[in-house]
Amino acid sequence: MILPPSTLAMLGGGQLGRFFVSAAHELGYAVWVLDPDGESPAGRIADRHLCAAYDDAGALDDIAVHCAAVTTEFENVPAATLAYLAGRMPAHPSARAVAICQDRIAEKSFLRENGFPHGDFAIIHAEADIGAARAGLFPGILKAARFGYDGKGQAVVESREAALAAFRAFRGAPCVLERKLMLEAEISVVLARGEAGRTRAFSTAENWHTRGILDVSIVPARIAVHLADDAREIAERIAVALDYVGVLAVEFFVSQGRIFVNEIAPRPHNSGHYTLDACLTSQYEQQARALCGLPLGEADAHSASVMVNLLGDLWFRNGASASGEPDWARLHAAPNLKLHFYGKRAPRPGRKMGHFTVLGDKPGAVLEAALAARRDIGIGDDRETAR
Residues 170 and 278 in one domain: no
Residues 316 and 350 in one domain: yes
In-domain check, residue 363: yes
- Report pLDDT for 13: 97
Cα distances from 310 to residues 215, 276, 294, 370, 376, in angstroms, run 8, 16, 33, 12, 13
Residues 255 and 201 in one domain: yes
Give the residue numbers spanning the domain of 138: 120-179
In-domain check, residue 96: no
Residues 77 and 125 in one domain: no
Q: Which of 154, 179, 204 is at the close of a domain?
A: 179
Residues 259 and 361 in one domain: yes
In-domain check, residue 386: no
Residues 199 and 289 in one domain: yes
Residues 211 and 175 in one domain: no
Q: Which of 179, 203, 224 is at the close of a domain?
A: 179
Question: Residue 233 maps to which CATH number?
Answer: 3.30.470.20
DSSP letter for each residue of 160-217: HHHHHHHHHHTTT--EEEEEPPPPSEEEEEEEEE-TT--EEEPPPEEEEEETTEEEEE
In-domain check, residue 168: yes
Q: What is the pTM of this model?
A: 0.94
Give the span between the Cα atoms of 37 and 11, in whole angstroms. 12
Residues 265 and 311 in one domain: yes
In-domain check, residue 387: no
Question: Residue 165 maps to which CATH number?
Answer: 3.30.1490.20
Q: What is the tally of structural domains in the chain?
A: 3
Per-residue pLDDT of the chain (387 residues; tens, 9 = 90+): 999 999 999 999 999 999 999 999 999 999 999 999 999 999 999 999 999 999 999 999 999 999 999 999 998 899 999 999 999 999 999 999 999 999 999 999 999 999 999 999 999 999 999 999 999 999 999 999 997 665 678 999 999 999 999 999 999 999 999 999 989 999 999 999 999 999 999 999 999 999 889 999 999 999 999 999 999 999 999 999 999 999 999 999 999 999 999 999 999 999 999 999 999 999 999 999 999 999 999 999 999 999 999 999 898 875 555 568 899 999 999 999 999 999 998 898 889 999 999 999 999 999 999 999 999 998 876 655 433
In-domain check, residue 297: yes
In the chain, which ranges are E strands? 7-11, 30-34, 48-50, 69-72, 121-124, 140-144, 154-157, 175-179, 185-193, 199-201, 205-210, 213-219, 246-255, 258-265, 304-311, 337-341, 352-360
Specify burial of residue 168 (Cβ count, 10 A radius: 0-12, 13-18, 19+). exposed
Residues 80 and 229 in one domain: no
Q: Which residues contact 91 (CB under 8 A, 6 or more apart)?
A: 69, 70, 71, 82, 85
Residues 161 and 189 in one domain: no
Residues 128 and 143 in one domain: yes
In-domain check, residue 245: yes
Q: Which of 91, 107, 130 is at the close of a domain?
A: 91
Residues 79 and 163 in one domain: no
Note the maximum CA span of the chain. 59
In-domain check, residue 98: no
Question: Residue 69 maps to which CATH number?
Answer: 3.40.50.20
